[in-house]
Amino acid sequence: MVPGKLAIVVPCYNEQEVLPQSLSVLQKVLQQLQSQQQISADSQIVFVDDGSQDQTWSLISQFSQTNANVAGIKLSRNFGHQNALLAGLSTVSDADFIVTIDSDLQDDPQVIAQMVQQYYAGAEVVYGVRNNRDSDSRFKRTTAECFYKFMNFLGVKLVPDSADFRLLSQRAAQVLLDYPERNLFLRGLVPLVGFPSAKVYYRRQPRAAGVSKYPLFKMLHLALDGITSFSVAPIKLIMGLGLVIVAVSLFLLIYTIIQKIRGDVVSGWSSLMISIWGLGGIQLICISVIGEYIAKIFNEVKRRPRFTIEKNLYHKQKHEGKND
Ligand code: UDP
Ligand code: MG
C-alpha cells in the first residue's frame, strides 16, 4: 500500500498561547504516522489564521520556515471558525485525506491514528465523537444537549457530540466545498455528503492554554445558523402560533358578544379585545409566510465570498520554496 498524503487543518483565532504546544503535539502525531508508513512523507499541518490580532500569524510563519511539514494560510479578516475550516479544505486540494482539528488541543490528537485507520478501512468521513463533556461547563453541556434534541425534533440529522474534529477524504471535502451556502454549519452539512462513514470516540480535554474563542453570543449565533439553514420549522411554528391566537380570538369574540348581550361590560372593551387578538394573530401568520420566502432568498442572493485568503504559505512551500 502506498501511504496517502494527510493534511491536518487547524483553524486558529488569537491562539498565540497554545500554538507552540499544538504544533509539537501534532508534529509528533504526524511523525508517528509517517514512521508507521500510514501517511506519506509530504503530509502537512496547515494552520489557518482566521484574522487574529495577536502574534498567531507570525508564529505560524516562523513554524513554516523552520518545519518542512508545516504550512499556513492567513485570511484577510476574521471569517469565523466554520469558514476558516472551509478555507483550509479548499487549500489542501492535493491531500488524499484531511483531518480538521481545533488548535486548543481539546480534541485528542492521538485519535487521528484511529481516524486514519478507518479511512484505510473504507470510510470517507470519520467523525470524532466526544464520549464525555466533563471539561465543558454545566451550562454549555445543557445548552448543547437542548440544541441536539431540538435539531432532532426538527428532523435534522446530526451526529450528536461530534464537533469539528473529523477526517474527510479529498472527495468528501470537494463535495462539501461544492455546497454553496453562506450560513455555514458544517456539523449539519457533513452528514449530507454521504459516502461510507465511521465514528471514533475520544475524551474531550480542557483547553491547553488561552481562552475560548466562542463566547456565548457566537455559540448562540452558530446554533441559530444551524437551525435556520437546515429547517424552516421555526417559521412554521410561528404560523402555528398565529393559528392558535386566531382560535383564541374567535373564542373571545363569542365570549365578549355574550357578555355584551348580558350588558355587564365596560363599553369599548369588547372591540378592543377582539381587534388586539384577532389582528395580532393574523399579522403573525402573514409575517411568517413572507418570512419564509425572505429567509430563503436572503441567504442565497448575496453570494458573498465565504473567505478571502490574504497569504498562502501552502502553495509557496510547494511551488516556490520556503522563502517569504
Ligand atoms: N476559531 C476560529 N475563528 C473564530 C473562532 C474560533 O478559527 O472566529 C478557532 C479557534 O482558534 C479554535 C477553534 O476555532 O481553534 C475552536 O474554538 P474554541 O476552542 O475557542 O471554542 P470552544 O472549544 O470553546 O467551543
Ligand atoms: Mg476549544
What are the pLDDT digits (tens) for 245-284? 888 888 888 888 888 888 766 777 777 877 788 778 778 8
Sorted by sequence, the CB contacts under 8 Å of residue 162 that are 6+ apart come out as 127, 128, 129, 130, 187, 199
pLDDT of residue 51: 92
DSSP-based three-state secondary structure for 321 = coil
Number of domains in the chain: 2
For residues 65 and 281, give the distance between their C-alpha atoms in angstroms, rounded to a whole number: 64
**Rounded Cα gap, residues 256 and 253, in angstroms:** 5
Q: Which domain holds residue 273?
A: 233-302
Specify the pLDDT at position 208.
75
Retrieve residue 1's grid coordinates.
Answer: 500500500
228 alpha carbon, distance to own chain's centre: 13
Judge whether 295 and 232 are in contact, CB under 8 Å. Answer: yes
Note the residue count of the chain.
324
**Residues 180, 284 within the same domain:** no
Q: Is the pLDDT of residue 228 over 80?
A: no
Residues 206, 295, single domain; the answer is no
pLDDT band at 320 (very low <50, low <70, confident <90, very high): very low
What is the rounded distance in angstroms from the CA atom of residue 11 to the CA atom of residue 50?
7
Task: Tell me the ipTM for this assembly.
Answer: 0.93
Note whether 295 and 311 are same-domain residues: no
On whether residue 169 sits in a domain, the answer given is: yes
Q: Which atom of ligand 1 sits closest to the CA of residue 207?
A: 19
* Residue at 33 is within a domain: yes
Same domain, 259 and 141: no
| Same domain for 163 and 27 | yes
Residue 52 lies in a domain: yes
**Listed residues: CB within 5 A of ion ligand 2:** 102, 104, 106
* Cell triple for 116: 486514519
Q: Which of 10, 102, 204, 222 to mutate to test the pocket of ligand 1 (most atoms within 8 A of CB)?
A: 102
Do 53 and 73 reside in the same domain of the chain?
yes
The band of 87, judged by pLDDT with boundaries at 50, 70 and 90, is very high
Identify whether residues 103 and 26 lie together within a single domain: yes
d(CA 121, CA 223): 33
CA separation, residue 126 to residues 33, 87, 97, 206 (Å): 17, 20, 11, 22
Rounded to whole angstroms, the Cα distance separating 120 from 308 reads: 33
Whether 168 and 252 map to the same domain: the answer is no
Interval 37-84: pLDDT, tens: 888 888 999 999 999 999 999 999 999 989 889 999 999 999 989 999
Give the binding-site residues of ligand 1, using a 6 Å CB cut-off.
11-13, 15, 50, 78, 80-81, 84, 102-104, 106, 212-214
CATH of the domain at 135: 3.90.550.10
Q: Hey, is 258 helix, strand or coil?
A: helix
CA 311 to centroid of ligand 1, rounded, Å? 20
Q: Which long-range contacts (CB under 8 A, 24 or more apart) does 268-274 make?
A: 274/249
Mutation probe of ligand 1 site: the residue of 104, 137, 141, 309 with most atoms within 8 A of C-beta: 104
Question: pTM of the entire structure?
Answer: 0.74
Asked if residue 218 is part of any domain, the answer here is no
Nearest CA residue ID for atom 1, ligand 1: 81
- Tell me which residue has its CA closest to atom 2 in ligand 1: 81
For residue 223, the SS3 value is helix
pLDDT at 318 over 60: no
From the alpha carbon of 219, which atom of ligand 1 is closest? 25
Ligand with the closest atom to the CA of 219: 1
Residue 169 neighbours by CB under 8 Å, 6+ apart:
96, 97, 98, 119, 124, 125, 195
Give residue 238 CA to ligand 1 midpoint distance, Å.
33
In a domain, 221, yes or no: no
147 and 244 in one domain?
no
CB 5, CB 40: distance < 8 Å: yes
Model confidence at 127, pLDDT cuts 50, 70, 90, reads very high
Nearest partner of 74 among 8, 59, 66, judged by Cα: 59
